[in-house]
Amino acid sequence: MVDSPAGFPFQGHGEKPGVDRFTLSEIPCIADSVALESEHVWYSVTWIIRPRIAMERGSASKLTQRTPASSPIQLTGPSGSPTISRRSGLDAAMSNLHPDQYETGQDDTGQDDTGQDEAGPRNAHPKPQGTCFMSLTSDVRAMLPDLDGYAYFQTSGFSPKLNPVVDEVVHWLKFQSRGPALPFVSRRIEELKQDIRGRVAATVNATPEEIVMTENTTIGINIVANGIDWKPGDNVLLTNHEHPGNRLTWYNLTGRYDVELRFAPMYNDLGRTLEEMDRLIDGRTRLVSVSHVSRRTGLRLPGRAVCDLAHGKDTPVLFDGAQSFGAIPIDVRALDCDFYSFCGHKYTMAPQGTGGLFIRRDRIDWLKPSWIGSHSQKTFDQEGNMDLHDEARRFEFATRSVPDQAGFGKALDIWEGLGWEAIFAGIESYTDRMKAALLEVPGLVLETPASYGDSSGIVTFHVPGLEAGPLSESLEQHEKVLVSPLEFAAESTRVSTHVFNSDEDLERLTTGIRRIQREGLDA
């Protein structure tokens, strides 16, 4: 049985075989990842309770949030004595119990007793198999398919999807398919959409009113690019590391308006990069549109410094967050950016076709919608009049895939449940180990800065004389290691890391590179 303070949603739930009583009077601290140590309690409290508390308080699944150390929930063991231990981030283990198991009207067989007009949370996920505290890596891996035996270093391209995320998509697809126009279905789907918007907003410390739900990063960039009232002679500043999504959009624009594109060179010495930006921004720069994290080397721009620089010249800033969202903390308020576009399908391991765009409140009216349609409006008439929503959702229109968005929301819940700080620390620690292991390969050159603070979960390297395309093919065929050759540099290979990557994956990568060095590509 679980006792909880009045008002918490899990009161009355939580009876599990072998679990004795514990009392909730202190929120588990994310930083220290509180876990219960009791032979009777074999699941992680954080996983089950924390997301519920965050939701109940209507707050804060922010990537940046730190629960105060003096948190008000205390866990006591069977004897009534405290059994909390504080373990550092990665050591804290999480079970793969589905948090919703403790709140639904479903029993352990997965039967739904919530009534046919509800698509509530579900109970479709495996219980822990008796291991007390698994590592973060094996916990996340337990939610993944077997990856066909691959060492998967392609999260920066497309991540594999967590099983509970896939289940969530299927669940909502089935629910909606009962009849999208059925009143209880459409009502529930609408609630779900707004709920997900709230979760996405909290993840970057925005308000729901400032979030456009999109299908990918590039749509967000296009909304901004095509929403500015361009004047001949204006210019926009990018960097030389941008993805086609933050490049072709602008190439297209310069073909339509007399707008100049400027490119700031990215240096591992970020101070130098900022100097170049400062030099290139002038009175006609209407926007700085740059990747927060470079997809090429993982270089992490000092976001706040970029905004301060640009704002000092009255220029708004759009961050392309495709490689940062879910990999590093993002707080749009602390960054003080005007726009932030991101996708779900990389580091948050959400379905393809999910994403969001943050538009700061005061920029919503500043941006002119180029595309709108049904659902953008508050009112309209047959004579050509319309009144758009005040919120950023005015840029959303027509029919969208809500089941995919539900998968996005579920992915955020899972990371929130595991603890964002543990995830960020896990990516950092693994990336550091990756860099160290690669640097032991004779002749290998690391292109990514050695300091994690200047980079992220991307490690780019080259081995002089070895072409990246054949190298990656050989690694794939011999070691079943998936990496990505970069198209703009013949020898550069990108490895992207996540908490599900294991030490064995890393070992296979370096073994493969050494094999190629020793025996050649054709061996």
Q: Least CB distance from residue 279 to ligand PLP, whole Å?
A: 23
Candidate list 123, 155, 291, 472; residue touching ligand PLP; CB under 6 A: 291
Residue 455 to residues 194, 356, 459, Cα–Cα distance (Å): 33, 23, 8
Residues contacting 288, CB < 8 A, separation 6+: 236, 237, 277, 281, 306, 310, 315, 316, 317, 318
Would you count residue 295 as binding ligand PLP (CB under 6 A)?
Answer: yes
Q: Please, which of residues 366-405 interact with ligand PLP by CB under 6 A?
A: none
Would you count residue 322 as binding ligand PLP (CB under 6 A)?
Answer: yes
Would you count residue 246 as binding ligand PLP (CB under 6 A)?
Answer: yes
Q: Least CB distance from residue 459 to ligand PLP, whole Å?
A: 15
3-class DSSP assignment, residue 221? helix
3-class DSSP assignment, residue 41? strand
Helix%, strand%, coil% for the chain, nearest 5: 35, 15, 50
3-class DSSP assignment, residue 387? strand
Read off φ and ψ for residue 328, nearest 5 degrees: -135, 160
Q: Least CB distance from residue 362 to ligand PLP, whole Å?
A: 25
Which stretch in 130-138, 171-179, 238-246, 381-389 sits in contact with ligand PLP by CB under 6 A? 238-246
Amino acid identity of 246?
N
Would you count residue 460 as binding ligand PLP (CB under 6 A)?
Answer: no
Which stretch in 26-34, 92-100, 241-249, 478-486 sits in contact with ligand PLP by CB under 6 A? 241-249
Which stretch in 92-100, 242-250, 277-285, 375-383 sits in contact with ligand PLP by CB under 6 A? 242-250
Would you count residue 226 as binding ligand PLP (CB under 6 A)?
Answer: no
Q: How many residues bind ligand PLP (CB under 6 A)?
A: 13
Q: Please, which of residues 201-220 interact with ligand PLP by CB under 6 A?
A: 216-218
Q: Please, which of residues 330-349 interact with ligand PLP by CB under 6 A?
A: 343
Q: Least CB distance from residue 322 to ligand PLP, whole Å?
A: 3
Q: Least CB distance from residue 154 to ligand PLP, whole Å?
A: 10
Do 307 and 315 meet the contact criterion of CB atoms below 8 Å apart?
no
Would you count residue 300 as binding ligand PLP (CB under 6 A)?
Answer: no
Read off φ and ψ for residue 17, nearest 5 degrees: -60, 135
Number of C-beta neighbours around residue 234 at 10 A: 17
Tokens 């967050």 -> residue: 321
Nearer to ligand PLP, 44 or 216 (CB): 216
Would you count residue 93 as binding ligand PLP (CB under 6 A)?
Answer: no
Q: Report CA 479 to chain centroid distance, whole Å.
A: 28
Q: Which of 43, 58, 48, 42 is nearest to 27 (CA)?
A: 48
Q: Least CB distance from residue 306 to ligand PLP, whole Å?
A: 15
Nearer to ligand PLP, 106 or 294 (CB): 294
Nearer to ligand PLP, 300 or 508 (CB): 300
Q: Least CB distance from residue 414 to ligand PLP, whole Å?
A: 20
Q: Please, which of residues 415-434 interact with ligand PLP by CB under 6 A?
A: none
Nearer to ligand PLP, 99 or 298 (CB): 298
Do 203 and 195 meet the contact criterion of CB atoms below 8 Å apart?
no
Q: Is the dihedral of CA 208, 170, 141, 476 positive or negative?
A: negative
Q: Least CB distance from residue 422 to ligand PLP, whole Å?
A: 24
Q: Least CB distance from residue 261 to ligand PLP, whole Å?
A: 16
Would you count residue 351 as binding ligand PLP (CB under 6 A)?
Answer: no
Please state, in angstroms and rounded to a whole number, the distance separating the CA atoms of residues 228 and 219. 15
Q: Least CB distance from residue 512 to ligand PLP, whole Å?
A: 24
> CA torsion 488→493→497→502, rounded to 10°?
160
Angle at 307 between CA 278 and CA 314, to 5 degrees: 70
Candidate list 160, 351, 355, 426; residue touching ligand PLP; CB under 6 A: 355
Nearer to ligand PLP, 217 or 315 (CB): 217
Q: Which of 396, 312, 402 is nearest to 357 (CA)?
A: 396
Would you count residue 104 as binding ligand PLP (CB under 6 A)?
Answer: no
Q: Least CB distance from residue 448 to ligand PLP, whole Å?
A: 15
Would you count residue 245 as binding ligand PLP (CB under 6 A)?
Answer: yes
Please state, in angstroms and rounded to a whole number, the distance separating the CA atoms of residues 88 and 420. 13
Please state, in angstroms and rounded to a whole number, the distance separating the CA atoms of residues 322 and 342. 5
Q: Least CB distance from residue 16 to ligand PLP, whole Å?
A: 39
Number of C-beta neighbours around residue 323 at 10 A: 29
Q: Least CB distance from residue 217 to ligand PLP, whole Å?
A: 3
Write a three-state SS string for 284-317: CEEEEEEECECCCCCCECCHHHHHHHHHCCCCCE
Would you count residue 324 as binding ligand PLP (CB under 6 A)?
Answer: no
Would you count residue 320 as binding ligand PLP (CB under 6 A)?
Answer: yes
Structure token digits, residue 199 = 């979760």
Amino acid identity of 60?
A
Q: Which residues bind ligand PLP (CB under 6 A)?
A: 216-218, 243, 245-246, 291, 295, 320, 322-323, 343, 355
